[in-house]
C-alpha cells in the first residue's frame, strides 16, 4: 500500500511537468548538424548499429517463408566475405532481435531454433498499432506471444489515457501488461506522433518507466509522425532523470522511418551524448527498422570495395 501511495505521489508530480520546447528543438538541430565519422571509424560505428537493430517485418502479407528469410538475415546481417575483409567475420555480429506480429512468433522461433540461434524474438502485441481493442484481448495477445516463445514484447499505450491526462489509469494498464509479459522484456511504444506535445511525451515516458517498462519506444511506424530527434531528446532525458532518481537504467528504441546508414550514426551520436556509453549496447538501445540494414550493408560494401553495390547483390538472405 505504501508503495502504491508513493506511486500516486509521483503521478501527482508528473502533472506539474513542463517541457521547454525551444530548448528541445535547438538541441535537435545540433544533433542533425553533427559530423559523422569516416572510413574505418564509420564502418565500426555502422557495425555497432547493426547489433542494435530489431530487424522487423510487420506486413499484412507476412508468411512463414518471409519470416524465415528475415531470421536468416538477422543471424548473418552483413555478407560474410565483407566482414572477413575487415577482420570482423568471427565477432558474432547479428542483429539484436527479430520483431514480428504475434501470429508469426512461432514461425520465427522455429526458424531460429533450426539454425541453432539464440537470437531473441520480439513481438508487437496489445492491439498494435492503435491499441484500441479491449484490455482483456490485449492482455491475452501478450500471453499468447510469450507462450509461443517471444522473449520481448513491444506493447502500445492507450493514447486516449495520455491525451486526457489519465496517468494513474495508464500506469495501471501498463502494470497489467508487465505482469502478462512474465519474464519477457517489455518495450512500451508511446506513439509520439499521436501524443500532441513534448510535455505529454515526457509524462508518458515517466509513467511507462514507473510501471516497469524495460524500454520506451517512440513509434509503431504506422503513425504519420514517427521517430524524430526532438522527441527522442525528450524521451532520453526522461530516461536520464528516471535513472538519476532511481538508479534503474531503462532502454530506448526509436522506430519508424529510420532508413539510412547516416541516420543510424546520428541516433548513436544522440545516445552517446545524452545518456553515455553504457547505453550503446543492445541491452539498452535498439533501432526498430526493416529497410535500414540494406543501406548499412551497402555502406560496408563501399568501404570494403570502393564501389556501391546494387541491392540485388546484397539479398535478404
DSSP code per residue over 4-28: HHHHHHHHHHHTT----HHHHHHHH
Residue 13 confidence (pLDDT):
77
% of the chain with per-residue pLDDT over 70: 97
pLDDT tens profile 21-80: 999 999 999 999 999 899 999 999 999 999 999 999 999 999 999 999 999 999 999 999
**CB-based contact 174:213 (threshold 8 Å):** yes
The mean pLDDT of 156-171, rounded to a whole number, is 95
pLDDT band with cut points at 50, 70 and 90 for residue 9 = low
213-228: average pLDDT: 94
Q: Which of 15, 17, 20 is nearest to 233 (CA)?
A: 20
Question: Do residues 270 and 229 make contact, with C-beta atoms less than 8 angstroms apart?
Answer: yes
Active-site choice (91, 217, 222, 272): 217
- 245-272 pLDDT tens trace: 999 999 999 999 999 999 999 999 999 9
CB atoms near residue 116 (< 10 Å): 7
Residue 30 backbone zone (phi > 0: left; psi -120 to 50: alpha; other: beta): alpha
pLDDT for 317 equals: 58
DSSP readout, 83-132?
A: HHHTT-TTS----SEEEE-GGGHHHHHHHHHHTT----EEEE-SSTTTT-
Q: Computed over its alpha carbons, how large is the radius of gyration of the chain?
A: 19
Q: What is the mean pLDDT of residues 99-122?
A: 98
* 133-145 mean pLDDT: 97
According to the model, what pLDDT value does residue 2 have? 41
Average pLDDT over residues 4-28: 82
Query: Which three three-digit cell numbers place residue 117?
Result: 540461434
Phi/psi of residue 255, each to 5°?
-155, 150
Q: What is the model's pLDDT at position 242?
A: 94
Strand order in the sheet with 53-56: 251-253, 215-217, 185-189, 152-156, 121-124, 97-100, 53-56, 287-289
> CB of 73 within 8 A of CB of 317?
yes
Band (pLDDT 50/70/90 cuts) for residue 8 is low
What's the pTM value of the predicted model, to 2 decimals?
0.95
The more confident residue out of 221 and 54 is: 54
What mean pLDDT is reported for the chain? 94
Question: Active site includes 73?
Answer: no
**150 — pLDDT class (breaks 50, 70, 90):** very high
Q: What is the pLDDT of residue 1?
A: 36
Whether the predicted pLDDT of 14 surpasses 80:
yes
Task: Give the CATH number of the domain where residue 49 resides.
Answer: 3.20.20.70
Q: Which residue of the set 39, 136, 253, 272 is catalytic?
A: 253
What domain count does the chain have? 1
- Mean pLDDT is lowest, of 16-25, 98-107, 111-120, for 16-25
Q: Which pLDDT belongs to residue 6?
A: 61
User: What are the cell numbers at 163?
Assistant: 491525451
Domain that residue 167 falls in: 2-313
Q: How confident is the model over 297-304, as a mean pLDDT?
A: 96
Q: Does residue 7 carry a pLDDT above 80?
A: no
Say what the pLDDT of residue 213 is. Answer: 98
Query: What's the rounded Cα separation, in Å, for the pair 149 and 49?
Result: 25
Mean pLDDT of 280-296: 96
Of the CA atoms within 13 Å of residue 33, those in its CB half-sphere come to 6
83 pLDDT higher than 70:
yes
Give the pLDDT band (50/70/90) at residue 309: confident
Question: Is 253 a residue of the active site?
Answer: yes
Amino acid at each position: 500500500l505504501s508503495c502504491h501511495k508513493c506511486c500516486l505521489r509521483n503521478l501527482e508530480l508528473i502533472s506539474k511537468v513542463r517541457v521547454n520546447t525551444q530548448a528541445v528543438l535547438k538541441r535537435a538541430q545540433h544533433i542533425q548538424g553533427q559530423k559523422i565519422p569516416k572510413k574505418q571509424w564509420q564502418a565500426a560505428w555502422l557495425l555497432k548499429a547493426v547489433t542494435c537493430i530489431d530487424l522487423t517485418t510487420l506486413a499484412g502479407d507476412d508468411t512463414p517463408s518471409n519470416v524465415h528469410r528475415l531470421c536468416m538475415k538477422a543471424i548473418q546481417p552483413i555478407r560474410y566475405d565483407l566482414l572477413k575483409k575487415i577482420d570482423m567475420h568471427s565477432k558474432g555480429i547479428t542483429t539484436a532481435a527479430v520483431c514480428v506480429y504475434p501470429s508469426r512468433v512461432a514461425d520465427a522461433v522455429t526458424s531460429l531454433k533450426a539454425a541453432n540461434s539464440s537470437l531473441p524474438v520480439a513481438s508487437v502485441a496489445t492491439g498494435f498499432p492503435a491499441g484500441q481493442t479491449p484490455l482483456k484481448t490485449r492482455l491475452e495477445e501478450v500471453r499468447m506471444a510469450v507462450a509461443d516463445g517471444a522473449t520481448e514484447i513491444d506493447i502500445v499505450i492507450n493514447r486516449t489515457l495520455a491525451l486526457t491526462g489519465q496517468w494513474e489509469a495508464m500506469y495501471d494498464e501498463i502494470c497489467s501488461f508487465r505482469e502478462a509479459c512474465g519474464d519477457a522484456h517489455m518495450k512500451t511504444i508511446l506513439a509520439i506522433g499521436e501524443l500532441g506535445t513534448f510535455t505529454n511525451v515526457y509524462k508518458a515516458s515517466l509513467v511507462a518507466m514507473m510501471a516497469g517498462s524495460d524500454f520506451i519506444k517512440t513509434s509503431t511506424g504506422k503513425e504519420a509522425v514517427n521517430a524524430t530527434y526532438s522527441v527522442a531528446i525528450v524521451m532520453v532525458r526522461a530516461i536520464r532523470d528516471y535513472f538519476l532518481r532511481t538508479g534503474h537504467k531503462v532502454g530506448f528504441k526509436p522506430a519508424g522511418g529510420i532508413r539510412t546508414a547516416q541516420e543510424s550514426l546520428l541516433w548513436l551520436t544522440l545516445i552517446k551524448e545524452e545518456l553515455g556509453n553504457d547505453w550503446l549496447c543492445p541491452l539498452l538501445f535498439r533501432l526498430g527498422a526493416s529497410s535500414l540494414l540494406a543501406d548499412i550493408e551497402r555502406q560496408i560494401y563501399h568501404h570494403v570495395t570502393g564501389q556501391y553495390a546494387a541491392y540485388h547483390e546484397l539479398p535478404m538472405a
